[in-house]
Amino acid sequence: MAERILLVEDDPTLRATLTYRLQHEGYTVEAVSDGDRAIDSACKKPPQLILLDLMLPGTDGLTVCRKLRACCAPSQRIPIIMVTARVEESDIVVGLEAGADDYVTKPFSWMALRARIRAQLRRTQTEEADEEEKLGSLESTDVHIDLDAHSVTRAGIPIDLTNRLFDLLVYFVRHRGMVLTRSRLLERVWGFDYLGDSNTVNVHVHWLREKLAVDPTAPNLIQTVRGVGYRFLG
């Protein structure tokens, strides 16, 4: 059965172009032009992936993303790729923190977008295949990860993480002490080969550090290895 993609784009020309290209790739596409219809569609019939424009009439893309993450169970884990004309890092960070798994900036290359779509779908399939392996819990110093409940605590304090930050932390803990390159993190956590943009990893590591800093005295668990990547010290 063809994977179903929900396309949320208010520009009629771009919406028609993307619909055609996605269908040509074999995907089933539902295209909507506003945030309210996107929320309604995703909740009634969850797709395998959502392409979400940031600038929408009425309910904007950030609000749509937050509402979808709030109403969907973590186990559903619908990948959301945010499409935005904003290129400032602060705007991208806000989108990722809202729950987006990835982002592309306009104007974008179709081949790059297609690669990211395939990567997100491949990652989801891998997670489903490995679900049994993920059951249980992980411990690292004062960090406790409950894989069944999809929850994290540090020193007994609950930490609210997006799906992507949760996956990143799990990967760090499972490979504690190892130097992990940005390209490896992109491949293993995001599911795609290095495409020349390590900013995605940097932004997520920044936010994960902030989330893990439950108090000012808590030591930083993620060390930057200059010119290489990161090491989890827990």
Give the list of residues 6+ apart from residue 154 with CB closer than 8 angstroms, or none.
142, 143, 144, 212, 214, 218
Average pLDDT for the chain:
84
Q: With respect to CATH, is domain 133-232 assigned 2.40.50.140?
A: no
pLDDT for 99 equals 83
pTM reported for the whole predicted model: 0.61
Q: What is the pLDDT of residues 79-96, one digit of tens each?
A: 899 988 876 777 778 888
State the DSSP string of 41-101.
HHHHS--SEEEEESS-SSS-HHHHHHHHHHHS-TTT---EEEEES---HHHHHHHHHTT-S
| pLDDT at site 130 | 54
Summarize pLDDT for 181-210 with one digit per residue, the tens: 888 888 788 876 545 466 888 999 999 999
Least trusted range by pLDDT, from 36-50, 94-108, 154-168: 94-108
pLDDT (mean) for 145-154: 90
- pLDDT, position 226: 85
Write the DSSP assignment of 94-127 as a string of letters.
HHHHTT-SEEEESS--HHHHHHHHHHHHHHHHHH
**Where are the domain boundaries for CATH 3.40.50.2300 in the chain?**
4-129
- Delimiting residues of CATH 1.10.10.10 domain(s) in the chain: 133-232
Fold adopted by 4-129: Rossmann fold (3.40.50)
Average pLDDT value for residue range 141-166: 90
Residues 92 and 100: their CA atoms lie apart, in Å, by 10
> How high is the pLDDT of residue 119?
82
